[in-house]
Amino acid sequence: MERIRTDVLVIGAGSGGLSVAAGAVQMGASVVLLEGGEMGGDCLNYGCVPSKALIAAAKVADAQAHSGDFGVAPVVPQVDYAAVMEHVAGVIAGIAPVDSQERFEGLGVRVIREYGHFVSPTEVQAGDHLIQARRIVIATGSRPLVPPVPGLEDVGYLTNETLFDLREKPEHLLIVGGGPIGMEMAQAHVRLGCRLTVIEGAKALGKDDPELAAVVLDALRAEGVEIAEGAMVAEVDRTDGGIRVAAKDGRVFEGTHLLMAVGRKANVERLNLEAAGIGTTKTGIKVDAGLRTTNRRVYAIGDAAGGMMFTHVAGYHAGVLIRSMLFGLPAKVATAHIPWATYTDPELAQVGLTEAEARTRHGDRLEVARFDYAHNDRALAMRRGAGFIKVMVVRGRPVGVSIVGPEAGEAIALWSLVIAAGLKMSAVAGMVAPYPTLAEINKRAAGAYFSPRLFDNPLVRKTVGLVQRWLP
């Protein structure tokens, strides 16, 4: 057994863990990094990267089929599904060196390719290594949540961890789960020539503003995605032709392949947290506002902390942690400025409070400013005028923004800055966006907030009249 002493031990080489390891070692700390699976974690290998690469391929196919409005003859896209998945694999391979063991060892990190578990409050065993660390960071991420549905284990279902291994196109893909992952994969596969049925136990995209979600769901249905809501799965079995999913209300769905996309579960079971005195919650590891666990020497970040499960949140956590862990400076996580996006077409993005949440919290103080993509010249030039932006404003400051439309995930970034910096709507109104760009929707939304104050205000009209009389 090799005994190792280090300043920082990072368990998990996903987005958050790699950021902590790179930052800590380059600032002078000794770092050991454990990873029993793939370097880069879920995001690189099974999540964000492959799914967006698949969506990009599907968008190309859709453009071929719907080019007539641009004066270009449409064609039926000839999809080579195996080649599409090789494209996905190639994108992963292109990014992988940035997250590789070799790169991190070159930075000075000791990388051990083993899973780790606690044997004491300050020690972790990984294979034949016993590591004692001054500070330990748990960044073990999450995995697909697979509920105990009768018959499920016997039918050979897919998750995001196995979907991208397919090389033969599914004839009819059933997706259980109408959240972001389910809806993204549904649209991508219907554009690649598959039949698609989404089976959702409650409301599809139910965590988003229903007004925005309706725009996305209408678009997907128009493309041929069947969306069955209120269909809680009762059992699954295999038929001669593929897979049969029965809902509790009696509805039955049949297809050739089944993708389970009902949520995520934090990876904490193999850590033996009890040996370190680390508490857990229903969703992950219990942490305080500084990401410290119930063991003062141990921190948890990203999905393992059981909060918002997004790659960019893990990266944000890493920055907060480096500030406090390496420099001893006060640092706490916040969530009001954390954006998220669903990469359907149109995209759906959110930061801060939805309209319903804002009305509950702020009541009559809330004002909602809106602007439609249909009045954005760049969107019209692209024939992509469906969608809108809503900005929830309290006393001149945005408390939430919802966007549905082309490039909504890009547009929402500005509002994350605005909320994080505590800026007012006047700051957005005062910016200048290039013309014509989709980014103008942000400025125009701010203009919609101020318009009634300027154009429907008798005092303003009277003041302007007086000034005009007295100006030389």
Bind-site residues for FAD = 52, 116, 140-142, 303, 309-312
On whether the CB atoms of residues 232 and 201 are closer than 8 A, the answer is yes
What pairs with residue 203 in β-bridges? none
User: Which phi and psi (to 5°) does residue 389 adopt?
Assistant: -125, 140
Question: Annotated binding site for NAD(+), which residues?
Answer: 177-184, 200, 263
Nearby residues of 56 by Cβ (< 8 Å), 6 or more positions away: none
> Which has the closest alpha carbon to 181: 331, 376, 341?
341
The Cβ of residue 216 has, within 10 Å, a number of other Cβ atoms equal to: 26
Q: What angle do CA 271, 272, 274 make, to 5 degrees?
A: 130
Residue 324, classified by CB atoms within 10 Å of its CB into exposed (0-12), middle (13-18) or buried (19+), is middle
CB contact at 8 A, 164 and 53: no
* Residue 460 identity (one-letter amino acid): V
Q: What angle do CA 215, 69, 74 make, to 5 degrees?
A: 105
Other C-beta atoms lying within 10 Å of the C-beta of residue 33:
29
Q: Which residues are annotated as a binding site?
A: 52, 116, 140-142, 177-184, 200, 263, 303, 309-312
Task: Residue 199: name the closest of 227, 179, 159 by CA.
Answer: 227
Alpha-carbon distances of 415 from 253, 345, 423, 432, rounded to whole Å? 41, 21, 9, 15
Beta bridge partners of 393: 367, 398
d(CA 175, CA 431): 43
Residue-wise burial string across 356-366, b where 16 or more C-beta atoms lie within 10 A, e elsewhere: eebeeebeeeb
